[in-house]
Chain A
Amino acid sequence: MQVKSFMYNMILSELEDVVGVENVSTSEVEKASYTVDYFWLSRMWQDRGAEGPKPDIIVRPGSTEEVSKVLKIANYYKIPVHTWGGGSGSQGGALPMAGGILLDMKRMNKLISIDESSHSITAEAGMIFQQLEWYANEKGYSCMHIPSCLTCGTIGGALAHRGIGIFSSKYGKIDDQCMSMEVVLPNGDIINTLPVPKHAAGPDLNQIFIGSEGTLGIITKATFRLFEQPECRKHRAFLFPDMTAGLNAGRDIMQKVQPSIMRLFDEAETVSIIKKVIGFEKKGAFMNLSLEGIERIVDIEMEIVLEICKKYGAEDLGAEYGEKWFENRITFFYPGHIMDIPQMFGTMDTVADFGHIEKIYWAMKNAIESNFPGVRFIAHCSHWYGWGTMIYDRFIMDNPPEDKEEALRLHNQIWNTGVRAAMENGGVINDHHGIGLKLSRLMKEQYGPAFQVMEGIKKQLDPNGIMNPYKLGL
């Protein structure tokens, strides 16, 4: 024990030398604040009065150089390093499962530059994304990455988990919007990806680190595209007789025009959440969409959308409900409006091409509802691509088991069942929440022999396995 104290204090003082005494903490209250993220399991655990995963040492770096030095120390002593941004991930990706060092990145929140000639913005990765958006807004632009967690997560967090915003169907995902990054490798080396994202200079390094969830390195800076604010944004809502009609219409719309928002809700969600938040009372599959850009073009696009929706038997609900959805888009996520403990719930978030998506929806719904009595399944399609869409499918159980271990097991079984049903029918495990701890065990099933590519990269970059252990299947 005494020998352990020797090492502990030695490492602590080395870390203090790097970031300053005030930016290293071992206090219990601070450790406790990192034991719960947005992952249902960590919340349930806390709610039942149990202690969650605590780090041993919290380090708050103020610069890329400090991150580099911390990683050198961690690598020398072989101490796990967990990177924490906003801590708002739903997959348990930031939880310090292996103890050791927790790197809270939020001090690294400086704006570095705005390049108006290239329409790009560069900032440190510990900045909450809303701040970046405000900096862009100050100059009359937008990053057009507007997720519901805009105010919760950091730039690094959005990149590390391949995040998406509500305007993605027009402006792309974070992986489309990021141009370049600075990354600190596990050995402490500071690297930059190429200055522009499109080139013929080999595989895209951006796409190796985007979605790497802290297992391959730490993103310290990033450059994003800036978009001009649209001249107009017009909302519309429709009611389809069923999901099939809605999906077909959605596919046709994506082929012809590019809505910024398009959301199609199944009947279960239409009569519950849509009703609760925007007061819509009818049954069917509710769809809201938004078109934006130059008004003359938007008006023509809207005509096309109306034609397509009519073809598939939709009732045109006009602009009002579309506007209401837009006004309330964030309200959905505040306490009292969103699922909360003591309920058990999860968002499965599967992505597939149009050829498979409907089969996946029914397969998941049947698998969950037939295997787990008392569990509801609700879904909507919130992000669309030219080739397919994703299903934001949620399961909800009002009365989970009282015993926390039993609740944990049931939770994981539901996830296995739902996600396997999706994968068996041609779906991909996750669209935009990431893998984290929650889905880590299923990564090998998803990739098959292809997973060796990721394992190879992991072995080369992080031979000591210190970076965010147990996440992403790595």
Chain B
Amino acid sequence: MFRILVCVKAIPNTTEVSFDADGKLQRSSAELQWNVADLAALEAALTLRTPESTVTVLTMGPQKLEMPLKELLARGADEAILITDKSLAGSDTYATARVLAAAVEKLGGFDLILCGKQSLDGDTGQIPGMLAAALNMTCITNTENLAVSNQQCALDRILEKGIQKLTLDLPCVVSVQPYAYTLRLPGIMAMRKAREKTVLMLNTQDLDLSPETCGQSGSLTKVVKIHPMRHGHRNGPKEADLAVGTARILTLLKEVK
């Protein structure tokens, strides 16, 4: 069986993020959504799937992600795994990558590990590389047009000034460009089946992780302060007339140019 793993992250709804008076992100207030690039990675995996392969989604986060994970099962993933443990709160990318790597090993390894290029909230893009390092695998970031054959993965790596066509030996870690793939809609039957499936829950004990390697104590970085940048932002008026609105936008675009 050819096993594909897709690492996904639930992030605060980007239109709803608010900061308290100290400039700290108010996570409790924020609703969660799946990171856009991760959904592209899932669709890439589903595109690669054959009758001889399986697609597993893996995430780390709060218990309430169980239903959203079932949504991904309905979209086509074969199994879903949620690593949830209070001691994981405050993990930086290094600590997170180590937990994900522990899960990969616990689950018996995968032939291809896909991640989104980067998350919209943390925006570091570090997980794919750190995960690959922890697993001692090759890592190629920022890709699209994936194809798999003969234990190799061919893909396009998007660079600033061009596209690099690469073929990698498997297993490897690959990160996928956001919007490179649009995640398919679920069907009624798939949704019914997904409801019956269980999401595999893992905690730090299951992964044989000691407390000092988890969460803030296992992290190499510490967030000292987050402060929002306030640019000279102004809300424009709402324009009811399409033609007038279009004209206004065109004028603005010309000004920006």
Nearest Cβ on chain A to B225's Cβ, whole angstroms: 18
Complex contact A328–B29 (CB within 8 A): no
Please determine whether A327 and B29 come into contact, CB atoms closer than 8 angstroms.
Answer: no
Which residues from A are CB-within-8-Å of B237? 324, 327-328
* B21 and A279 contacting across the interface, CB-CB below 8 Å: no
What are the interface flags for B230-242 relative to A under an 8 Å C-beta threshold, 1 for contact and 0 otherwise?
Answer: 0000110110000
A398 touches B235 (CB 8 A): no
Bound-state Cα–Cα, A398 to B21, Å = 9
The residues of B that contact A342 with a CB separation of less than 8 Å are 28-29
Most B C-beta atoms less than 10 A away, residue of A276, A279, A324, A331: A279
What band does the interface of chain B fall in when counting residues whose beta carbon is under 8 Å from A?
10 to 19
B contact face: mostly helix, strand, loop, or mixed = loop
Q: How far is the CB of A369 from chain B (nearest CB, A)?
A: 14
- Is B20 positioned at the interface, with any CB of A under 8 Å from its CB? yes
CA distance A336 to B13 in the complex (A): 13
Shortest beta-carbon distance, A288 to chain B, in Å? 15
> Once the chains bind, are A331 and B238 in contact (CB under 8 Å)?
yes
Q: Mark A265-291, 1 if CB is under 8 A from B, else 0.
A: 000000000001111000000000000
Q: Which of A276, A328, A331, A399 contacts B20 (CB 8 A)?
A: A399
Residues 324-345 of A at the B interface (beta carbon under 8 Å): 324, 327-328, 331, 336, 342
Residues of B1-49 contacting chain A, CB below 8 A:
15, 20-21, 26, 28-29
Does B235 contact A279, Cβ atoms closer than 8 Å?
yes
**A336–B237 CA distance with the chains assembled, in angstroms:** 15
Residues on B with beta carbons closer than 8 Å to the beta carbon of A336: 15
Residue of A nearest to B15 (CB): A336
Return A144 CB to nearest CB of chain B, in Å: 22
A-B contact count (CB 8 A): 19
Choose among B20, B234, B235, B238 the residue with the greatest number of A CB atoms under 10 Å from its CB: B235
Which of chain A's residues 377-435 have a Cβ closer than 8 Å to chain B? 398-399
Q: Which residues of A contact B235 (CB under 8 A)?
A: 276-279
Q: How far is the CB of A271 from chain B (nearest CB, A)?
A: 12
Residues of B with C-beta under 8 A to A327 = 237-238
Minimum CB distance partner of B29 in chain A: A342
**Chain B residue with minimal CB distance to A323?**
B237
Contact with A along B217-257 (1 / 0, CB 8 A): 00000000000000000110110000000000000000000
A277 vs B26: C-alpha distance in the bound complex, in angstroms?
22
The chain A residue sitting closest to B28, CB to CB, is: A342
A399 to B19, CA, bound (A): 11
Interface size on A, residues (CB 8 A): 12
A398 CA to B22 CA in the complex, in Å?
Answer: 12
> How far apart are the CA atoms of A100 and B15 in the complex, in Å?
41
A residues less than 8 Å from B20 (CB atoms): 398-399
**A277 and chain B: residue at smallest CB distance:** B235
Contact indicator per residue, chain A 102-131, by CB within 8 Å of chain B (1) or not (0):
000000000000000000000000000000
CB-defined contacts of A324 to chain B, threshold 8 Å: 237
Contacts of B15 in A (CB 8 A): 336
Report how far A336 CA is from B17 CA in the complex, Å: 11
- A279–B232 Cα distance when bound, in Å, is 9
List residues of chain A with CB within 8 A of the CB of B238.
327-328, 331
A324 to B234, CA, bound (A): 12
> Which B residue sits closest to A279, measured CB to CB?
B234
The residue on A at minimum CB distance from B234 is A279
Per the bound structure, the CA–CA distance linking A324 and B15 in Å amounts to 24
Q: Which of A284-335 contact B (CB under 8 A)?
A: 324, 327-328, 331
Query: Which residue of the partner chain A has the closest CB to B233?
Result: A279
Give the contacts of A111-161 with B (CB-CB under 8 A): none
Task: List chain B residues, Cβ under 8 A from A398.
Answer: 20-21, 26
A398 to B23 alpha-carbon distance, docked (Å): 12
Minimum C-beta distance from B252 to chain A (A):
14
Shortest distance from the beta carbon of B213 to any chain A beta carbon, whole Å: 30
Q: Which residues of A contact B21 (CB under 8 A)?
A: 398
Q: Closest CB-CB distance, B2 to chain A, in whole Å?
A: 43
Residue ID in chain A nearest B239 by CB atoms:
A327
Instruction: Give 14 CB contacts A-B under 8 Å.
Output: A276-B235, A278-B235, A279-B234, A324-B237, A327-B238, A328-B237, A328-B238, A331-B238, A336-B15, A342-B28, A398-B21, A398-B26, A399-B20, A399-B26
Q: Which residues of B contact A (CB under 8 A)?
A: 15, 20-21, 26, 28-29, 234-235, 237-238
- The list of the 9 closest CB pairs from A to B, nearest first, reads A279-B234, A342-B29, A327-B237, A398-B20, A279-B235, A277-B235, A331-B238, A399-B20, A324-B237
Besides A327-B238, A342-B28, 15 new A-B residue pairs in contact (Cβ under 8 A), listed by A number: A276-B235, A278-B235, A279-B234, A279-B235, A324-B237, A327-B237, A328-B237, A328-B238, A331-B238, A336-B15, A342-B29, A398-B20, A398-B21, A399-B20, A399-B26
